[in-house]
Amino acid sequence: MSAPITQDVLTIPRKLPEGGRVNIVGLTREQLHDALIAAGTPERQAKMRVGQIWQWVYHWGVRDFAAMTNLAKDYRALLADRFEISLPEVVTRQVSADGTRKYLLRIAGGHEVEAVYIPEEGRGTLCVSSQVGCTLTCSFCHTGTQKLVRNLTPGEIVGQLMIARDDLDEWPTQGTPKNETRLISNMVLMGMGEPLYNFEGVRDAMKVVMDGEGLSLSRRRITLSTSGVVPEIARTAEEIGCLLAVSFHATTDEVRDRLVPINKRWNIQTLLDALREYPRLSNSERITFEYVMLDGVNDSDEDARRLVRLIRGIPAKINLIPFNEWPGAPYQRSSWERIESFADIVHKAGYASPIRTPRGEDIMAACGQLKSATERGRKSRAQIAAEAAG
C-alpha cells in the first residue's frame, strides 16, 4: 500500500503579528508598493520608493535602511520602524572536497531546509528548496521520507539566493561591470520539496529573482523540476516562463507508480500531453527529462528504447542521474556500463544524454539526499520498502 498523495501543507502568513515588522524580502513590487502606502508613504511617491528600495536590497545587497542614502533620513527611520530585511538563519555551511557548498538554514517555526551551491567550469548553479520536506513519497528520494512539510514563503526562497551571494561575496560594488560572469549564474528548483505544490510561493519568488533591476537572473537560467503536477505545468509556462525539468524515471506506468507515486494521479500519457505544450507556451527550447538510474529497476536497454519512443516529438534532453544512496534506501545505483549503454541508446536516437556527475557526495549534498537532520519524524524503513514494492 502506498501512502495517499496529499497536498495538506501549511503556509505561514506573510505578515508578522500585530506590531511586528513586515519583511521586505520576497514581496513582489506590487506588494511592496501597497505595504509602503500602508506604512504612510504618499501614494504619488510609492512607485519611486519601491524602485529605490528594490535596488538597495536586491542589487546592492544592503540590509540596513540607514545605508539607503538616496532616501531622506526620517523616511529611513520610518522604514526601519515598520519593515525589516531578513533572511533565514544559516545553521551550518559545509564545503565539499569538490567545492560544492551546502547550507542548512533555519526558518520561522524552527524548521530547517537546505540549499546547495555547485560550482562548474564557467558557471555556478544554486539548487534551492521550495518546501520543508515533501508531501510526495518517491521511493528513491531521501526528502520524501521526511514527515513534516510546510511551504516556504517567497522570502525564504529568495533568501536562499541572497545567503549564497553573501557567502560567495557576490554583491556588486560601485563600478563592477554589469555583465561579468557570475559565480551564481544559474538556479535550479531541485532541492527539497515539490515546487508546483507551492505554486504561488515559487512564482512570486521567481518574479523577484528575475527582476532586471535586482537579482536579475534570466528565466532561461532558472530550471524548475517537477515530479509531474500536470495541472500546474501550463501555468508554470504562462506565469513563470522558466525552463522545465521533469522527474520521469520510468517508462511504464507500473514502474512509475512505484517510483513516483504521483503517477497514479497523472500517468505517463497525461504527463506527456502536458509536456508537449510547454515549449510553445513558455517560448523555450527543450525540456529536461530526469531519469534516476536504479539497478535492475528501470535501467534496461528496453527501457531506453521505450523512453525515446515515448518522448518522440518533444524537444528534450535526457539527464541520467546515477542513484545517490542514503541510509536505508531500498535501491542501488546502476553499474557504469549499464548507465553508459542506456545513454548510448538515447544518444543515438538524437537526444543529448548527459550523465549527471554526483556532486558533494561527501557532505550528502547530491540530488535526493537532502533531508534536515533535525526533523526527526521519519517514515520507517518498512514503510519505505512497502511503498517501493507497490
What residue numbers does the annotated binding site for S-adenosyl-L-methionine cover?
193-194, 225, 247-249, 324
Query: Exactly one of 114, 156, 232, 375 is catalytic; which is it?
Result: 114
Please name the residue that has the C-alpha cell 508598493.
33
Q: How far is the CB of 356 from ligand SAH (least distance, A)?
A: 8
According to the binding rule CB under 6 A, does residue 190 interact with ligand SAH?
Answer: yes
Q: Interface with ligand SF4 by CB under 6 A: which range of 55-63, 135-143, 167-175, 295-303?
A: 135-143
C-alpha torsion 75→76→82→85, nearest 10: 150
Please pick, from the candidates 204, 232, 257, 290, the single residue that binds ligand SAH as defined by CB under 6 A: 290
Residues contacting ligand SF4: total by CB under 6 A? 11
Minimum Å gap between C-beta 102 and ligand SF4 is 16
Q: Using CB under 6 A, which residues numbered 222 to 241 contact ligand SAH?
A: 225-227
> Binding to ligand SF4 by residue 230, rule CB under 6 A?
no
Set of cell numbers at residue 276: 508537449
Q: By CB under 6 A, tell whether 141 contacts ligand SF4.
A: yes
Q: Is 358 strand, coil or helix?
A: coil
Burial 232-261 (b: 16+ CB within 10 A, else e): bbeebbebbbbbbbbbbbbbeeebbbbbbb
Binding residues, as ranges, are 134, 138, 141, 193-194, 225, 247-249, 324
195 close to 156: Cβ distance less than 8 angstroms: no
Can you tell me the distance from the alpha carbon of 50 to that of 43, in angstroms, rounded to the nearest whole number? 11
Stretch that binds ligand SAH, among 220-228, 300-308, 309-317, 334-342 (CB under 6 A): 220-228
In degrees, rounded to 5, the angle at the alpha carbon of residue 163 between the alpha carbons of residues 177 and 158 is 90
| Sole window of 130-138, 171-179, 351-359, 374-382 interacting with ligand SF4 (rule: CB under 6 A) | 130-138
Q: Cβ neighbours of residue 69 under 8 Å, at least 6 residues apart?
A: none
Contact between 316 and ligand SF4 per CB under 6 A: no
| Site for ligand SAH contains 116 (CB under 6 A) | no
Q: How far apart are CA 174 and CA 207, in angstroms?
A: 25
Read off φ and ψ for residue 112, nearest 5 degrees: -130, 140
Rounded Cα–Cα distance for residues 106 and 90 (Å): 6
- The only residue of 112, 114, 156, 194 in contact with ligand SF4, by rule CB under 6 A: 194
Q: Which three cell numbers stand for residue 185?
A: 549564474
The one catalytic residue among 112, 367, 375, 387 = 367
Q: Which of 96, 153, 227, 284 binds ligand SF4 (CB under 6 A)?
A: 227
Provide, rounded to whole angstroms, the least separation between the CB of residue 390 and ligand SF4: 16
Choose which of 96, 263, 282, 324 interacts with ligand SAH (CB under 6 A): 324
Closest among 7, 263, 264 to 149, alpha carbons compared: 7
For the question of residue 114 being annotated catalytic, the response is: yes
Q: Based on CB atoms, which residue is closest to ligand SAH, 137 or 247?
A: 247
For residues 208, 212, 214, 219, the Cα torsion angle rounded to the nearest 10 degrees is 50
Among 35, 136, 246, 275, contact with ligand SF4 (rule: CB under 6 A): 136
- What is the closest distance, in whole angstroms, from the C-beta atom of residue 325 to ligand SAH in the complex? 7
Residue 127 is which amino acid?
C
Dist. CA 58–CA 209, nearest whole Å = 9
The answer to the question of residue 342 lying near ligand SAH (CB under 6 A) is no
Q: Please state, as a whole number, how many other Cβ atoms lie within 10 Å of the Cβ of residue 183.
A: 15
Task: Decide: is 194 part of the binding site for ligand SAH (CB under 6 A).
Answer: yes
Any idea how long the chain is? 390
Positions annotated as catalytic residues are 114, 367
By the criterion CB under 6 A, which residues form the site for ligand SF4?
A: 134, 136-138, 141, 143-144, 193-194, 227, 247
